[in-house]
Amino acid sequence: MNEITYTDWKQSGESLLYIYTPMCGTCQVASKMLTVCEQLIDKEVPQLNANYEPQLMNELQVESVPCLIIKKTETEVEKIYAFQSVPYLLEKLKTAL
């Protein structure tokens, strides 16, 4: 996963964004799951440290981390907080691409 800023993400038109904090144990597990998914779909998911982007947290109304943002349109986003399993995440990522 590559680190990105909120401004870069908005300008890139990327539909996926993984939001995490470094000291969160659940985020570390979710990161490993997403790394496996990246290998299977052959695409990197950009990641963003929530500690440095409070504007994003407010604008997208992110309630907790880890959070996977899937942008469907400019105004419609899906937020995934429960990273249930690799197959579940893989299905979500495939539908976003």
In total, the chain counts a number of residues equal to: 97
Whether the CB-CB separation of 48 and 9 falls below 8 Å is answered with yes
For the chain, what are the domain ranges? 6-96
Predicted model pTM: 0.92
Q: Given this model, what pLDDT does residue 25 score?
A: 95
- Taking only the tens place, the pLDDT of each residue in 43-54 is 899 999 999 999
Task: Indicate the residue type of 97.
Answer: L
Q: Given this model, what pLDDT does residue 70 score?
A: 92
Q: How far apart (Å, rounded) are the C-alpha atoms in residues 11 and 13? A: 6
Whether the CB-CB separation of 6 and 52 falls below 8 Å is answered with no
6-96: CATH, from 3.90.650.10, 3.40.50.300, 3.40.50.12280, 3.40.30.10: 3.40.30.10
- Taking only the tens place, the pLDDT of each residue in 8-42 is 988 888 889 999 999 999 999 999 999 999 999 99
Strand partners, 67: 19
